[in-house]
Structure 1
Amino acid sequence: MAFGIGINTEVTDKGEIRGRQMEVAVGCWFTSKGNTIPQMVKWEDAEGFVHTIKSIKVLYKEQKNYAGVSTMEYMCEITEEEIIRQVKLIFFMEERKWCMVI
């Protein structure tokens, strides 16, 4: 037995993205079924030094909407200089750009 009359069909919105955002370049691997798996992240710091992280473990991914913008959010563990930390990699689908949230 189903409940509801179909009035709550709109996508839920998560509001604003919380945390420090950094624009990043992401190298991805695409599976034969079309799934995206981030493999590498690069960003430039304030001094102009380019950082590269190749040790990424995707914990989970989830499609979300932030302020009405459709995104795919990846919760990841990255290893940088022997330090492991969790970050979010967010892909903005319409704009085709990535950001990393620390």
Structure 2
Amino acid sequence: MNFGTGEKVYEKDEGVLLDSELLPAAVKCWFTVQGRGLPLSMKIRNEEGEIQTMAPIFTDTFQKLRYGGVPLWRYQCRVFQEGIEKSFCLYFYPEEGKWRVGK
């Protein structure tokens, strides 16, 4: 006998990376009255150990996900640095208040 909630708990093709493939990020974020977060800028440590600032961040898509009962907000973002557009995913864990960025 199988039991289910009717919700998709895990889908491999949704593009969520494992925690080991994510880098910690310090994100400046605006939270709206409705509780939606809008990332404005972020700082990450690069491979050389230097802190790199990325601003402004443009959010293309936003998804509220849940994996194994853990809520996760996924932002598909882009930023312009030195005239080059870079796309990346930002992940926010609301229970922990932590941000991660895809490598």
Deviation of 1:42 after TM superposition, in Å, equals 0.4
TM-score, length basis structure 1: 0.77
Cα displacement (A) at 1:20: 4.1
Mind listing any 5+ residue stretches in structure 1 that lack a counterpart? 1-6
More helix per residue = 2
Q: Which runs of 5+ in 2 are unaligned?
A: none
Amino acid at match of 1:12: V
**1:4 alignment partner in structure 2:** none
Within 2, Cα distance between the matches of 1:67 and 1:26? 25
Aligned partner of 1:9 in structure 2 is 6
Whole-angstrom distance in 2 between the partners of 1:78 and 1:99: 16
Distance (Å, rounded) in 2 between the aligned partners of 1:98 and 1:47: 21
Q: What number of residue pairs does the alignment pair up?
A: 96
Structure 1 residues 1-102: aligned runs within 5 Å: 7-14=4-11, 17=17, 20-66=21-67, 68-102=69-103
Please, what TM-score do these two structures have when normalized by structure 2?
0.76
Q: Deviations over 1:61-87 (max 9, x none)?
A: 001234553200001111122211211
- Determine which structure has more spread, i.e. the larger CA radius of gyration: 1
Q: For the aligned residues, what is the CA RMSD?
A: 2.3
Q: After the TM superposition, list the runs of 4 or more consecutive aligned residues in structure 1 that deviate by more than 6 angstroms.
A: none
Of residues 11-20 and 41-50 in structure 1, the stretch that sits farther from structure 2 once superposed is: 11-20
